[in-house]
Amino acid sequence: MSIDRVSNTQGNGDPNCPDCRGRGHVSTGTVNMSGIAKFEICKCVEKKERWRNVERIRPGLRKAAKVSSSPLLDQVDTNTLITANESVFHAHLKHVALRQRSTWFCRIESDLDLARAWLANVELEGGAIYDADVAGAKATLRYVHLEDLARPPDLLIIRLGVKSSPNKSMPEVLLEVLQLRTYLDKPTWLYDQPHKRFTSGHICYSTQVRNFVSDWDRLEFSVSGYKASEPEDDEVPDESGMSDVTMPPSKSQSKPKTQRTTKVEARNPGIPRQGAMYMPPKK
């Protein structure tokens, strides 16, 4: 069938796309061994799917502020400690997500999610739960085991500071997740906030966890220069600005582990510098 005669309603592409005319795929100009033409997904579909993936990572992430660059783009396969205001972190995470394939599997889980996954079996069996943040909550069957939370993602982001009630087992729960991710050779970002740092006194902190992450890269973001904004149509990069693979095997575990110590002078003196400090470019 001629391309000119294919209806725009026969595909999932943009009807106004000059390449696929709404079909959602374009010819590669080659044929297989049987002489049948080969096709690939059109850029307009890939753009739409990447936006969908942004929303899968976190509902509402699409509306995060736009940044022109992010140091997190170099950290997608590296274990990293991150300190940032939530809106700033979301802006940088969106920037990273839009530059990965639409099949990139990134998941954000909180320390409260870790506790619920850890206690899921007890909850489902009707046992007594003495954690005030988990007790009384209805079982969602989202995770039956802690491994269900930790194993699947290409990149797992653990958002600390959500859980409020103390539980003496939380450091061990967190350490189990981190050790499993390391065993799987998959990267993890451990993310806290300037006003609630991951240090002594934190619900999930212990000497064992501190030692385990002691050689991770550290990035700290200033809150200066960021405002909420609506997404822009041209924010998704073209193929030249997008990662060529869904998620490469982590190379961070094979290279010598030395904590990054690059420092940039902070504009906001209210946030102390620890490890690397990232500042947004001046406009």
* DSSP string for 53-103: HHHHHSTTGGGSPP-S--GGGGGTTS-EEEE--HHHHHHHHHHHHTTS-TT
Give this prediction's pTM. 0.72
Report, at the CATH architecture level, how domain 62-278 is classified: 3-Layer(aba) Sandwich (3.40)
Tell me how far CA of residue 165 lies from CA of 67, 97, 115, 207, in angstroms. Answer: 35, 32, 11, 20
pLDDT of residue 65: 92
In this model, does residue 139 exceed pLDDT 80? Answer: no
Of 29-33, 207-211, 260-264, the poorest mean pLDDT is in 260-264
Q: What mean pLDDT comes out for the span 68-84?
A: 95
pLDDT of residue 5: 34
In this model, does residue 69 exceed pLDDT 80? Answer: yes
Q: What is the pLDDT of residues 239-264, one digit of tens each?
A: 444 443 333 333 444 344 445 533 33
Q: What mean pLDDT comes out for the span 75-81?
A: 96
Q: What mean pLDDT comes out for the span 35-58?
A: 86
